[in-house]
Chain A
C-alpha cells in the first residue's frame, strides 16, 4: 500500500469554485438561523455577492494556465472564459429569480409539499412569499458548473455533473403555479438525467479499462492518460468507442442534443421561468464546456473517429429543433426547441477542429446565453390573473398593448433568426466560418437550411405580436421591478453590442482558446 499524498492545491485558482460552494453551505445556515422575513434579502444578497466575488477571482486569475488538485482541475483559457460566462449569466438569472414584484412572492412555490391543485395550493399561489431554499440550491448548481468546465479527469467531471444536476432537478419542481406540470417536469428531468448520469459513469468505467496497459503509465481517467491511451493503448478499440459513445450520451443529454433532447420541452415548460432561463443559458455553457474539453483534450487523437458521428448528431439536432419548433403553440416550448436547434449549431462549432472553432463556440455560448435569458425575462412579464400567459394565441396584439416590451422581444427573436446587427448573426458566423474552413461544409449547409426553417416560428411570434389585432384575452405586460428590468436590459444590450461590435469578446475568446494538457 503506497502512502497517501495530499495533492497540492492552488487556492487562488480554485477560489471561484470554493467561493460558490462555500456560499451555498452558508446559505443553508442562513435558512436555519435568519428570521423568515429577512431571509429573502439576505440570501439574494449573499448569492449575488458570491457570484461577484467569484467573478472577480476569475478576472484576477485571467493569466493562469495550470493544472492543480492532482490533475483533477485544469485552470486554463477555456475554463476561465467559460467560468466567467457562467457567472455573468448566473448573475442575470439570479436577478430574475430574486424578483418579487412581477409575481407577488416570487416565481417559486411557498410550500412545496402541499398537494397540487388543492385548496391549500391555491392559497399559497395567492402571494405568500416563495421558498428561499432556492438560493443555496442555485448556488450549488453554479458551483457544480464551475467545476464541470474545469474538470480535468472524468471522475471529477462526473461529480461536478451531479453537483449541478441535483439542485436543478429540485428547482424545476418549485414553480408557484401549475404545480402538476412543474412536478412532472422535475420527475422527467430527474429520471432521464439519472439515466444519462449512469451512461456517463459506465463510459468512464470503460475508458478506465481502455487506459490500462499503456507502457510506462498506470491506468487512470485523467485526460492526459486518456489521451496517451488513445494513441498507444494495446486494449481493444471497442472499449474506447463504446466508452466514448456512453460519455457522449451523458454530455449530449445535458446539452439537449437530439436524440437525447426529449426532456427539454417538458422541463423548459414546467420549470419556473427564471430557472428555465438559467438552464437554457448556464447549463448549455457548462455542458458544451465539458464537451469541448473531453473531445479536444482527452480524445484529441480520436478526432477522425467521432467527428462523423457527432456531425450526424449535430445535423439531427438542428433538424429536430427547427422542424418541431414550427409546430409549437406555447412560447416556452418554442424557445425549448429553439434551444435544441441552437445546441446543433454549437455542435457545428465543436466539430471545427481549430482554435477559431473553439473561440467561436465559446463566443456563441455567451451570445446565446444573454439572448435566451432576456427572452425568458420577457416571458415572465406577459401574464394574466393565472400567472404567465404562455400560449402563443394569447400573445396576439401584444405589440399594440405594450409596444416597448414587444419591441424588445421582437429584437431578441430577430437575433435568434440570425438577422445581422444582432449577436445571433455574429455568433452563427463565428461557428460556421471555422467549420467551413475545417472542411465541414455539409454541417454548414445543414445549419443554413435549418436556419431557414427556424426563421418561420420566430416570425410567427412577431406576426402575432404586431400584425394581429389584440383579442379579449390578450394579457398585459406587467411592468417589471428593478431586478427583472436590469436582467432584461443587460440581455438585450448584450445582444445588440455583440452583434454590432463583437470584436472585443472575440479577442477575449481567441486569447482564451487553448487548453492546457
Chain B
C-alpha cells in the first residue's frame, strides 16, 4: 500500500473535484454543495489510509514520488512527507469537509455563483496539500504563491465588510513575502548547483554571508505568512472580512505554511543562519504573544478578536521552533495541529453566531446563551480550548513549548507564560460579553437568534470537539509521528537537548 502515490493523488484530487463542481449548473447549487462535500470526504478517507500506512519509526521522508518537470532548471514534481507534513495534511483533510459543511449557506448572501465558492474551497485544498507535500523547493514556491489566488477570491468575492481592502491587503502582503522568497529561491538554486531537490540542497555548504541573506529571504516570507509580529497587520483584516469557513482555513491551515516553512526550509537548509538569527526570532515570537493578546483584549469584532488570538498563538509556535529543543519543537508542531483544530472550531462557531445575528460586533450580543444555549456552550468550549485549558489539546502543546523553552532560555519562557494569563482574559471576557449576563433585548428581535444549532452545525462541531478532547488526553499517536521528524530537524541544525538537571540551574547544566 505504501507504494500508492498518495501525495500526488491527494494534491490532484481536490482540483479535479473543483473542476467538476465549477461546471455544475449554476441554478442547482445544492448539487454543487453535495458534490463538493462528498469529494472532500473522499480526500479525507484517502488521507486516513495514508496516515495508517505511514511508518512512524521508518524513514524521515516517506511516500516519495518524483517526476521530471522542467529539466532545464532541475525542477521536478517531487513529493515527500515527514511526520510534520503528515500531521498538517491530516489537519487539512479533516477541516475542509467541516468547513464545506459549515459554509453551506454562506455564499447565498453574496449574490455570486454558489458552485464557484465551493470550487474555490476545493482548489484551495489542493494547493494547501501541495504546499505541505512538496519536496522540491520550486514546487513548494509554486504552491505557496498559487495558494493566494483562490483565497483572494474567497475573501474578495464572498467576504463581509471591507472585503476588497482586506483581499488586496492579504494578496499584496503575501506576494511581497513570496517575492523575497523568490529571490532567495533563485539564490539557493545558484549556490546549490542548479537543483531544487530538498534533499540535495540540504547537503550544500553555503558561505556564512550568503546563508544569512538566503535565510532572511525565506524567513521574511514565512514570517509574513505565519504571521509574526510586526508583519501581522493583514491577518485581522483578512480574518475579519473573510467568510467564516474561509477564515477557519486561512488561520487554521494557510498560516501554518509559514511555521511549517521555517521548520522544513529555514532550519535544515540554513542551520548556521538559523542559530544566528534565533534570538531575533525568539524576540519577535515573545512580542507577538504579548502584543497580540493585549490587542485581542481590546477588540469589539469577534472575527478580528479570533485573528489576534491566532497571532498570539503563532508567537508561541515561533518560540517553540527557535528554542531548538526537541520538546519545544514537538510542542510547536503539535500546536500547529491543535491551533488548527481549536481556532478552526472557534472561527466556525463565531461564524454561526454572526450569521444568526447579522453582525460581528461583540457589543451587539449579550446574554445570547439564554437564547441559544448549545451554541453558547460550544463557543465556551472553543474558547477554553483556545486559552489552552488543561484537558484540551492546546494545553499539551503550550506546555511542551514552555518547558522545552525553559530548559534553555528562562526569560523567554517566563514572559511567554504571561501570555497564558492574557489568553484567559481575552477569551473569558469575550465569552462573557457575548453569551453571559443579561439578555440584550435587541437579540430577541432577530429571528436567527431563536434557532439553536441544527443537525448540520452539530455535525460540524462534534468531530472537532471530540478531537480536541481526545488529543488533550491522549496525544501519543500524534507525538509519535511528530517526534522523529522534529528530532531530525534538530539534528540538521546540530542542536542536542540539554541534559535534564537536578537541583542546579540550567546554565550549570549547559556547562
Contacts and interface: CB of A to CB of B under 8 A. Distances in A.
A449 B71 CA distance: 28
Contact of B167 (A436, A455, A467): A467
A452 interface: yes
Nearest to A464: B164
B439 interface: no
B71 A503 contact: yes
A420 interface: yes
B146 A421 contact: yes
B71 A455 contact: no
A459 B168 CA distance: 7
B146 A467 contact: no
Interface stretch (B43-51, B149-157, B283-291, B391-399): B149-157
Interface stretch (B98-106, B173-181, B311-319, B465-473): B173-181
B190 interface: yes
B72 interface: yes
A87 B145 CA distance: 33
A434 B148 CA distance: 27
B72 A419 contact: no
Contacts of B190: 433, 436-437
A510 interface: yes
A418 B182 CA distance: 11
A448 B179 contact: yes
A466 interface: yes
B186 A459 contact: no
Interface residues of A, number: 35
Contact of B149 (A419, A467, A468, A507): A419
Contact of A467 (B73, B156, B180): B156
Interface in B109-166: 141-142, 145-146, 148-149, 153, 156-157, 163-164
A418 B148 CA distance: 13
Contact of B70 (A449, A455, A503): A503
Interface string B463-502: 0000000000000000000000000000000000000000
Contact of B179 (A451, A459, A463, A466): A451
A455 B163 contact: no
A467 B182 CA distance: 28
A466 B157 CA distance: 7
Q: Is the interface of B mostly helix, strand, loop or mixed?
A: helix
Nearest to A449: B179
B134 to A, nearest CB: 12
A305 to B, nearest CB: 25
A436 B70 contact: no
Interface string A436-465: 110001001100110110011001100100
A506 B72 contact: yes
Interface in A410-424: 414, 417-421
A432 interface: yes
B172 interface: yes
Contacts of B231: none
Contacts, number: 79
Given A420-B141, A448-B180, A433 B186 contact: yes
A429 interface: yes
A419 B189 CA distance: 19
Contacts of B145: 419-420, 425
B167 A510 contact: no
A414 B156 CA distance: 16
A455 B175 contact: yes
B167 A463 contact: yes
Nearest to B68: A503
Nearest to A437: B190
A502 interface: yes
B171 interface: yes
Nearest to B177: A452
Contact of A459 (B71, B172, B187): B172
B189 A467 contact: no
B414 interface: no
Contacts of A501: 69-70
Interface in B366-411: none
A350 to B, nearest CB: 17
Contact of B183 (A448, A468, A510): A448
A425 B153 CA distance: 20
Contact of A419 (B146, B156, B176, B187): B146
Contact of B172 (A444, A455, A502): A455
Contact of A502 (B70, B163, B179): B70
Contacts of A437: 190
A264 B172 CA distance: 27
B268 to A, nearest CB: 22
Contact of B142 (A421, A445, A506): A421
Contacts of A414: 149
Nearest to A439: B190
Residue from A425, A460, A468 having most chain B Cβ neighbours under 10 A: A425
Given A414-B149, A459-B171, A507-B72, A429 B164 contact: no
B73 A433 contact: yes
B142 A417 contact: no
A429 B146 contact: no
Contacts of B71: 503
B147 to A, nearest CB: 10
Contacts of B179: 418, 448-449, 451-452
Contacts of B176: 452
Contacts of B175: 417, 452, 455
Nearest to B213: A441
Contacts of B153: 466
Residue from B157, B179, B189 having most chain A Cβ neighbours under 10 A: B179
Contacts of B73: 429, 433, 506
Contacts of B171: 455, 459
Contacts of A441: 187
A18 to B, nearest CB: 34
Contacts of A455: 171-172, 175
Nearest to A403: B113
A372 B477 CA distance: 53
B183 A445 contact: yes
Contacts of A463: 156, 164, 167-168
Contacts of A448: 179-180, 182-183
Contacts of A506: 70, 72-73
Nearest to B185: A429
Contact of A444 (B156, B157, B167, B186): B186
Residue from A414, A417, A418, A420 having most chain B Cβ neighbours under 10 A: A420
A233 to B, nearest CB: 36
A467 B157 contact: yes
A510 B164 contact: no
Residue from B157, B168, B182 having most chain A Cβ neighbours under 10 A: B182
Contacts of A420: 141-142, 145-146
Contacts of B187: 436, 441
Given A445-B183, A463-B156, A456 B172 contact: yes
Q: Give the 8 A-B CB pairs with smallest separation, nearest first.
A: A420-B142, A506-B72, A448-B183, A467-B164, A467-B156, A448-B179, A437-B190, A420-B145
18 contacts: A419-B149, A420-B142, A420-B146, A421-B142, A421-B146, A425-B145, A426-B70, A433-B190, A436-B186, A441-B187, A444-B186, A448-B180, A448-B183, A452-B172, A452-B175, A466-B156, A501-B69, A502-B72
Interface of A: 414, 417-421, 425-426, 428-429, 432-433, 436-437, 441, 444-445, 448-449, 451-452, 455-456, 459-460, 463, 466-468, 501-503, 506-507, 510
Given A452-B172, A463-B164, A503-B72, 15 more contacts: A419-B146, A420-B142, A420-B146, A425-B145, A433-B190, A436-B190, A448-B179, A452-B176, A455-B172, A463-B167, A463-B168, A467-B157, A503-B69, A506-B72, A510-B72
